[in-house]
Amino acid sequence: MEALSIIPVQFLHGLVYGMLLFLVASGLTLIFGMMGVLNFAHGALYMLGAYFSFSILRWTGQFWLCMIVAPLLVGAFGILMERFLLRQVHRYGHAHELLLTFGLAYIIEELVKWIWGNQPLHVEIPAMLAGSVQFLGITYPTYRLFILLISAIVFAVLFLILYKTRAGIIVTAAVSRAEMVNALGINVPLVFMLLFGVGGALAGLAGVIGGPYLITNPGMASTIIIDLFVVVVVGGLGSLPGALLASFLIGELQSFGILLIPQMAIALEFLLMAVVLIVKPEGLLGDKA
Amino acid sequence: MLELNDINTYYDNSHVLHNVSLDVKAGETVALLGRNGVGKTTTMRTIMGLTPARMGEIKFKGTDIVRWKPYQIARAGLGFVPEERWIFPTLTVHQNLLIGQKNVADPGGPAAGRWTLEKCYEAFPSLKKRQYAKGGTLSGGEQQMLTIARTLVGNPEMILIDEPTEGLAPKIVEVVADIIRDIAEQGMTVLLVEQKLAIALDLADRIYVISKGMIQWYGSPEELRANDSVRKAYLEV
Ligand SMILES: Nc1ncnc2c1ncn2[C@@H]1O[C@H](COP(=O)(O)OP(=O)(O)OP(=O)(O)O)[C@@H](O)[C@H]1O
Ligand SMILES: [Mg+2]
């Protein structure tokens, strides 16, 4: 019985990590996948969300408030980043963006250590989510199910906005032909700045949600950043369903990898990436170039 | 309606437009003619703010717009139909048109002569048929019609049309020329770049001839027809 129930539990573990990964990567799908801005500081934005949330929680004791305020703060930070750093270097290409955002990620990490210290921080989750739930003979922490719920909501809302509203259509068009959209009367630089803000806010939200689960610590950005790029590229640049699928696969690969071949668990993800990129270079659900 | 005074435009250090001056009056169709690479597209890009002029003045309805951003110029009432067409390939025909719309709601119903989605589909039946097809799957002619419709649905007061018949089959060339004639007859002000001289002579009220980034000649279609030396020097190959 014990041995059998480990499979659904391990599946759930993988699903939760995968969906958290999706939550962080959704913002990068907008920023890198769609806009093509190589933002290596996306993990740092996620980390800022977690730390902002820690502080807001300490001052107010309101986890729900964290879920609103921290993403707004990180979103605003993202907007400033786009306006004053990335917009200036975008036309020089990816190398400039990579170096600039790589440096920024370092600076944020050092600032985080300086302000909040090197130690991992304990973030209290609200009492309502602290227990566990029983279903299908499994006992599972409520908070992890909450992560699944938030990811599902974020996916649904983003999907509807991106693919079903005029705003989403404008984003797609602006990404493919900025000059034309501009000449049709749409303020494209503003669209990009707001999109960057939304991407940042999503990273911030992921930080609030992920902090208590993956532990708020100064290394959390650099731990996740490579996974994020793998998700966006394997899923297919700019494809939200692709990012969801890739996150799911990577979550499960890690979860079952650790169980079955622990020595290779980390490598599995990159094996998947290599296979996908060779067989389907545009990514699982990406548009053919 | 539109007036360029001594416009000078550069791509980095290469000086492309030299003191270009021209004007287009309300309701007129003016053609800008010249050989390949002489600066016709650059003139349109400059008017639209996509490649801003370094010196000179561009007056649209009396206001100098030379430092304005493209989206501000578009909102002021100038529409641009680019040579490259720039259809959004992953969006449907319908979605392409939605991008062109400036204000989605038209309170009190559309005023007479205003372009709505319905009117576009009426004027371009081939687009209605392919309403839900991806822009990238359209034929060259359909793409050209979509480009024109997408600009019209934003209800500009004047449109810049860059080589609309380029690369189209002779039959489609006629269709596109008819569309432009219709639009102009409905009162639209048009600045047209067109390599096919017969079409330009037929559509235009007045003509400017440009060479090496300088306006060399201007006059009526009849004058150009009669002027062999200008045609030989600047247009015919
Ligand atoms: N983006 C650019 N960068 C540098 N030079 C350019 C650029 N675009 C055009 N040019 C140059 O500017 C000059 C004018 O080009 P333009 O496109 O305005 O010509 P055109 O009259 O529209 O030609 P065509 O009939 O081939 O469309 C050409 O010499 C061209 O090589
Ligand atoms: Mg041209």
Given a cut of 50, whether residue A1 has pLDDT beyond it is no
- Distance (Å) from CA A44 to ligand 1 centroid: 43
Cβ–Cβ of A173/B91 closer than 8 Å? yes
How many domains, in total, are found in chain A? 1
* Model confidence pLDDT, tens digit, residues A227-244: 999 999 999 998 999 999
**E strand segments, B12-168:** 14-24, 29-33, 55-60, 63-64, 78-81, 158-162
Question: Which of B75, B86, B100 has the CB atom closest to A177's CB atom?
Answer: B86
Which site among A170, A180, A191, A193 would you substitute to test the B interface, given the most B Cβ atoms closer than 10 Å to its Cβ? A180
Give CA–CA dist B25/A75, Å, rounded: 47
Atom of ligand 1 nearest to the CA of B41: 22
Residues with C-beta atoms within 5 A of ion ligand 2: B 41, 83
Contacts of B98 in chain A (CB under 8 A): 166, 169
- Does A54 reside within a domain? yes
Token output for A133 = 């739930």
User: Which pLDDT tens digits describe chain B residue by residue (237 residues)?
Assistant: 999 999 999 999 999 999 999 999 999 999 999 999 999 999 999 999 999 999 999 999 999 999 999 999 999 999 999 999 999 998 999 999 999 988 645 445 555 568 888 888 988 888 999 999 999 999 888 999 999 999 999 989 999 999 999 888 888 899 899 999 999 998 899 999 998 999 999 999 999 999 999 999 999 999 888 888 877 878 877
Q: Which domain holds residue A74?
A: 6-279
Instruction: Give the list of residues 6+ apart from residue A258 with CB closer than 8 angstroms, or none.
Output: A265
What is chain A's mean pLDDT, rounded?
Answer: 92
- For ligand 1, is residue B36 a contact (CB within 6 Å)? yes
Q: Residue A284 falls within a domain, yes or no?
A: no
Q: How far apart are CA A212 and CA A142, in angstroms?
A: 13
Q: What is the pLDDT of residue A265?
A: 83
User: Looking at residue A91, what is its pLDDT?
Assistant: 84
Query: Considering the domain boundaries, does residue A285 fall inside one?
Result: no
Is A168 in the B-facing interface, judged by CB distances under 8 Å? no
Note whether A170 contacts B: Cβ–Cβ < 8 A: yes
Residue A249 located in a structural domain: yes
The predicted model gives A27-52 an average pLDDT of 94
- Chain A nearest C-alpha distance from B203 (Å): 25
The amino acid at residue B184 is A
Q: How many CB atoms lie within 10 A of CB B150?
A: 27
Closest residue by Cα to atom 26, ligand 1, is B36
Domain-located, residue A241: yes
Distance CA B65, CA B189 (A): 17
Residue A23's pLDDT is: 96
- How large is the ipTM? 0.89
- State which ligand 1 atom lies nearest to the alpha carbon of B163: 27
Indicate the helix (H) or strand (E) that contains A154. helix A142-164
CATH number of the domain encompassing residue A270: 1.10.3470
B37: CA distance to ligand 1 center in Å? 5
Tell whether A288 is covered by a domain.
no
Task: State the distance from the centre of ligand 2 to the C-alpha of B73, rounded, in angstroms.
Answer: 20
Q: What atom of ligand 1 comes closest to residue B35's alpha carbon? A: 25
Query: Which residues of chain A are within 8 Å of residue B100 when distances are taken between CB atoms?
Result: 184
Residue A1 forms part of a structural domain: no
Number of Cα atoms under 13 Å in the Cβ half of residue B125 = 1
Which of A184, A187, A288 to substitute to test the interface with B, most B CBs within 10 Å?
A184
Phi, psi of B77 (to 5 degrees): 120, 15
* Coil, strand or helix at B4: strand
- Write down all domains in chain B, each with its CATH number in brackets: 2-234 (3.40.50.300)
pLDDT band at A124 (very low <50, low <70, confident <90, very high): confident
Q: What would you measure as the largest C-alpha separation in chain A, in angstroms? A: 65
**How many C-beta atoms lie closer than 10 Å to residue A245's C-beta?**
20
A183: left (phi over 0), alpha (psi -120 to 50) or beta: alpha
Cα–Cα distance between A68 and A76 in angstroms, integer?
Answer: 13
Say what the pLDDT of residue B112 is. Answer: 58
Read out DSSP for A165-221? SHHHHHHHHHHH-HHHHHHTT--HHHHHHHHHHHHHHHHHHHHHHHHHHH-B-TTHH
Distance between B130 CA and the closest CA of chain A, angstroms: 18
> Considering only alpha carbons, which residue of chain A is nearest residue B147?
A180
Q: Is the CB of A184 inside 8 Å of chain B's CB atoms?
A: yes
> If we measure between CA atoms, which residue out of B165, B183, B163 comes closest to residue B174?
B165
Query: Looking at the domain assignment, is residue A287 inside a domain?
Result: no
- Between positions 87 and 126 of A, the ones with CB within 8 A of B are none
